[in-house]
Chain A
């Protein structure tokens, strides 16, 4: 009888231990998946746009009081390379100071003409289009570009600038 009692008492403990073991296994599996995903992401990036030809495009919104982006198009040497439509969540993340990675493209070394057109609405709800065209020089190092939408309080307007390094 005492043996039965001990077994009965041990049962919940065993199931708890089993639960903890499964939990550990699940956590380990999740960690492995995260590592795999990170490696895969790196591999994809290296395959798609190796450092030597990579040109990374980013977008930031400084304040965003006078302009809310709805879409963006980036052309390099008159060829459309990047297109993006914004969701409300993405715009709000940008307004919080986040930097949007618009994407990586491949560029041959040398000079290239980059044109960005950002369509959106101003603070009065009117449709607006901001654009910028710049010549950039691609070397053997990755080209990093940043499109910055800046508010101009004096004109109650906004403009877009292209920075690269």
Chain B
């Protein structure tokens, strides 16, 4: 069991680091400009690149690939394909779980070398490390540090941590130490780098003095926040177990005592602390951490189960026989119940229901790197026994594959629904446009527009004629007055014909001439202003007519575009629908296979647990038998008459 915990601790901290990196990504001190990512010359290119980064940073990976394609197409048109796009494509592929495609892309890019920005290489290094591709992560990290445009300052510590971890994971301790030397002591990333280096040093049986110094340094500099405390406990637990293995029990005790009771590492720490004290023959002291462990944690926790047997074993060593017997009896009862429960849970139909529930619980999670919380199993009798499976990388990987398949299937169903709606939209659009009768409508509008134009031209002709007239630009009232003057001429003429001697017509003629003069004066005085106003109004009218003509042209273009807005699309929709159906069928088959693999995995794990618990049960019963036998023998020796 101890070995199991040790292995658990040896698992690198990649997933934890990845989670934190997302937060780091959103660090407050964000001051980089687009220039830091390398701005392209063309505006469209700049926008496409910016759109790509926006969707990437917001985790919209489908859209990210779309923008990446558009960006690449635009780059290609200018004859300058960018390496950065390829680096980022590899990172997106990794994010979506397309490891092989990402790897192929990465090697192609690495062969070309340079070119991409420091940030692009950083994103790739991060994904490669998460994927346990240490060699690739190291190359990407080095490229990032050397890149131009340079890496944004906010990523520097994380990137150096990736470099240290990747090198340490390849067991190159001295190089990892050199890389670590360039990091800031108090950064959490330095803490992760130190932890991974400690792991490598333990694996390689490195010199104790160096190892202990590094452990002290790691613990001392970690931040005092929740993440820092959790990492501190992890480092101390690892250090304690390593010291135990080296039989440095005092040192191990020091490490175990420093571990808090508030993190996931507390339970294994209490268990190991007890074993370490037992190894020092401190029997009574050893029981205390186990008691705390049993009080604080679920009875099915693997550390608690192991401690249950450890307590009576210790009591036996201190010759507290009665207490030991009582403890063994209690354990036998507990273990018997556990084994019964385990066997009743390890049934195909229960495993089916368990897996189905897990799939439903995780249905909302995305696929690719967004599925970090997948390992949360729901509360159920099966989960009580399969919790340990979550420490098994292979199982978690298979679980992730099933989840990805479920998500893909859900995405495909969404796509089908969307396409069905589009199909409907296209039919409606086509009918609407046909009913609209675009051409007839346009002809009618054009006819009306021509009428207006004709009227405008007629007005223009009239204006030209107006200049030729005597009373040009006269107002209506002027015209009435002119008409009156004209009528007066008839009257005066008829009076002249009558010609009575007493009637003197001269004053009438004089008044008429005066009136005519005033009238002409009035008209000619206002004529320039009226002419100007009329011409201005006419120009306005011309301008409105021109706009109307332009609008008609635009409407004609719009109608032509609208006419073609459905053409060719139904075929495209049907084509994609057929491809989706084929993919759905393929994925359904793989889903079934994958679910079977996982159920078999869980069942075998429970069989193994069954064997282990049965072994514990046998040990408890054997111990009980031995204790009873010892007691009986003792009783027989003390009372010889009983034996006869």
Q: What total of A-B pairs shows CB separation below 8 Å? A: 166
Q: Is the CB of B53 within 8 A of A93?
A: yes
Q: Is the CB of A97 within 8 A of B576?
A: no
Q: How far is the CB of B460 from chain A (nearest CB, A)?
A: 26
A47 to B569, CA, bound (A): 8
Q: How far is the CB of A64 from chain B (nearest CB, A)?
A: 8
Residue of B nearest to A163 (CB): B43
B residues 385-416 touching A (CB-CB < 8 Å): 401, 404-405, 408, 411-412, 415
Q: Given A27-B98, A97-B32, A98-B53, are A50 and B565 also a contact pair (CB < 8 Å)?
A: yes
Q: How far is the CB of B545 from chain A (nearest CB, A)?
A: 16
Q: Is the CB of A31 within 8 A of B31?
A: no
Q: Is the CB of B58 within 8 A of A110?
A: no
Stretch at the interface among A35-43, A76-84, A125-133: A35-43
Q: Is the CB of A108 within 8 A of B554?
A: yes
Give the chain A neighbours of B583 by CB distance below 8 A.
29, 32-33, 36
Tell me if B316 counts as interface (CB < 8 A to partner A).
no
From A29, A36, A40, A44, B586 is in contact (CB under 8 Å) with: A29
Q: Is the CB of B57 within 8 A of A93?
A: yes
Q: Is the CB of B54 within 8 A of A99?
A: yes
Tell me if A140 counts as interface (CB < 8 A to partner B).
yes
From B405, B411, B557, B590, A37 is in contact (CB under 8 Å) with: B411
A137 to B164, CA, bound (A): 55
A116 to B367, CA, bound (A): 36
| Interface of B: prevailing SS | helix
Residue of B nearest to A142 (CB): B44
Q: Is the CB of B99 within 8 A of A34?
A: no
Q: Given A47-B569, A93-B54, A98-B53, are A33 and B411 also a contact pair (CB < 8 Å)?
A: yes
From B55, B57, B100, A27 is in contact (CB under 8 Å) with: B100
Give the chain A neighbours of B65 by CB distance below 8 A.
34, 37-38
Q: Is the CB of B98 within 8 A of A47?
A: no
Q: Is the CB of B419 within 8 A of A30?
A: no
A51 to B426, CA, bound (A): 17
Residue of A nearest to B59 (CB): A89
Give the chain B neighbours of A90 by CB distance below 8 A.
54, 58
Q: Is the CB of B569 within 8 A of A43?
A: yes
Give the chain A neighbours of B148 by CB distance below 8 A.
none
Question: What per-residue 1/0 map shows which CB atoms of A12-55 lie under 8 Å from chain B?
Answer: 00000001001111110111111011111111101100101100
A90 to B54, CA, bound (A): 8
A24 to B26, CA, bound (A): 34
Q: How many residues of B contact A (CB 8 A)?
A: 71
Q: Is the CB of A39 within 8 A of B63?
A: no
Q: Is the CB of A41 within 8 A of B47?
A: no
Q: Is the CB of A47 within 8 A of B425?
A: yes
Residue of A nearest to B562 (CB): A53
A residues 85-134 touching B (CB-CB < 8 Å): 88-90, 92-101, 108-110
From A22, A34, A146, B96 is in contact (CB under 8 Å) with: A34
Tell me if B306 counts as interface (CB < 8 A to partner A).
no
Q: Is the CB of B51 within 8 A of A58?
A: yes
Q: Is the CB of B425 within 8 A of A99?
A: no
Q: How far is the CB of A30 from chain B (nearest CB, A)?
A: 6
Give the chain B neighbours of A146 by CB distance below 8 A.
43, 47
Q: How far is the CB of A87 from chain B (nearest CB, A)?
A: 8
Give the chain B neighbours of A110 by CB distance below 8 A.
550-551, 554
Give the chain A neighbours of B98 by CB distance below 8 A.
27, 30-31, 34
Question: Chain A residues in contact with chain B, CB under 8 A?
Answer: 19, 22-27, 29-34, 36-44, 46-47, 50, 52-53, 58, 60, 62-63, 88-90, 92-101, 108-110, 140, 144, 146, 163, 165
A-B contact pairs, 8 of them (CB 8 A): A22-B597, A30-B96, A33-B583, A36-B579, A40-B415, A40-B576, A58-B50, A99-B49
